[in-house]
Each structure stands twice: as structure tokens, then as C-alpha cells.
């Protein structure tokens, strides 16, 4: 008899699936190694955004995430422009993020 899945495991899987859906079509970088690092960083940025109760700005994102999720060879501004912001824009195209001027808010996956 198989053991039931723990709620945390199911929740984590749903969370990963949701972020993956938001990033569908996101192909940053020039090669597989760059793409893998940038997708991992983008995934972390979207998870963080999803956990915020209100819209955030670029400064909020950089302050909260760059030290732990910045990419080698990218300055804080380059990381924002080439990785996090592009991920947010891709997620917006896929219906998961709302961009209002210079603010970003997670909207996908919320129950009405």
C-alpha cells in the first residue's frame, strides 16, 4: 500500500508547477548553462513575488533577492533587467503577473 503524499509535498509540487507555467517560453541566456542559472534565479524571483501581499518595485526585488539569487557576472541592475524583469514580463504574458507602470504583482493562481 502506497503512503499518502504529505500536504507539503503536494503543495510544493503545485507551487513548482505554477511557477513553471508562469515561465513557459522563458529562454534567457546564450547557452544551456546560462539558461539553467537564469531560469533558477527567475524561479526564485517569481516565488518571492507570489509570496508578497502587495505589488513590488524593481528596488524591492533587487534588495530582497540579488544577494542570494544574482547571477555570476551580472551586476544588480543587469540581473534585474536581464533575468528578474524578463521573467516577470514572461509571467505577465502567461497571465500570472500584473505589471502596472513600474510595479509588479502576482495574480495567477489566486482563487476568486
Residue 10 zone, left/alpha/beta (φ > 0; ψ -120 to 50; rest):
alpha
Q: What is the pLDDT of residues 56-108, one digit of tens each?
A: 999 999 999 999 999 999 999 999 999 999 999 999 999 999 999 999 999 98
Distances (CA, A) of 92 to 81, 86, 108: 15, 10, 9
The HSE-up count of residue 3 (CA atoms within 13 Å, CB side) is: 4
Q: What is the pLDDT of residues 14-58, one digit of tens each?
A: 567 899 999 999 999 889 999 999 999 999 999 999 999 999 999
This prediction has a pTM of 0.83
Q: CA-CA distance, 102 to 5, in Å (whole number)?
A: 40
Amino acid at each position: 500500500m502506497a503512503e499518502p503524499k504529505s500536504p507539503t509535498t503536494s503543495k510544493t509540487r503545485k507551487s513548482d508547477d505554477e511557477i513553471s507555467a508562469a515561465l513557459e517560453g522563458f529562454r534567457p541566456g546564450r547557452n544551456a548553462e546560462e539558461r539553467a542559472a537564469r531560469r533558477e534565479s527567475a524561479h526564485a524571483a517569481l516565488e518571492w513575488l507570489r509570496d508578497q501581499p502587495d505589488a513590488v518595485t524593481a528596488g524591492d526585488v533587487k534588495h530582497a533577492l540579488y544577494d542570494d539569487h544574482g547571477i555570476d557576472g551580472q551586476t544588480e541592475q543587469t540581473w534585474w533587467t536581464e533575468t528578474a524583469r524578463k521573467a516577470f514580463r514572461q509571467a505577465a504574458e502567461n497571465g500570472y503577473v500584473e505589471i502596472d507602470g513600474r510595479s509588479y504583482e502576482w495574480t495567477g493562481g489566486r482563487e476568486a
